[in-house]
Amino acid sequence: MTTPTTDDTIIVDRPDVPADYGIPASDEGMLPWSHVVERMTNALNYWVGTTYPDGRPHVSVVWGVWHGDRLYFDGSPETRRGRNIAANPAVAVHLESGTDVVILEGIAEEVRNPDRELTVQLASAYSRKYAANNYSPEPQQWDNGGLFVVTLDKALAWSSFPTDMTRWRFRR
């Protein structure tokens, strides 16, 4: 497993679920971090769950780029998602598959005054990934906002439920 960032302490274990779900007690068969990286890198759509200020849930689909073990996505800060993040940055992210599952929990923040080298890398990754959808952002597109990053608190993944269900917890 690669370390998502050098400042993180990572606990890799099985999630806490009822015993009758059949999650193995041992670490044998748990997924490597590379499983999450591959799926997050290759996904086209990411479902982002946020919370309205009154506590109701909200989910929206976004395009994004997995870079440096973080999810970057863009969109106007004036969208419901953007306003929810501004009020409460806790998010959940889920890929489209219900059988080859990756679920992230973390903190989403709007990237203010993004580093040009980062935006060049992200714009290039977006352009490669979404070329068929005619989306090719310019690095300066995010100079005045609209770029978000999700820093992970927890990740869950499985491809053969329940035998390989794995949880990663990040302590900062």
Per-residue pLDDT tens digits of the chain, which is 172 residues long: 344 544 558 999 999 999 899 999 999 999 999 999 999 999 999 999 999 999 999 999 999 999 999 999 999 999 999 999 999 999 999 999 999 999 999 999 999 999 999 999 999 999 999 999 999 999 999 999 999 999 999 999 999 999 999 999 998 6
* pLDDT score of 1: 37
Instruction: Give, in order, the Cα–Cα distances in Å from 104 to each of 9, 59, 107.
Output: 17, 14, 10
Residue matched to tokens 């040009």: 116
Both structure tokens of 4? 């998502």
Structural domains in the chain, sorted by start: 9-171 (2.30.110.10)
Both structure tokens of 20? 């009758």
Burial class (CB in 10 A: 0-12, 13-18, 19+), 59: exposed
Return the percent helix, strand and coil in the chain, to nearest 5: 25, 35, 40
**Cis peptide preceding 24, ω within 30 of 0:** no
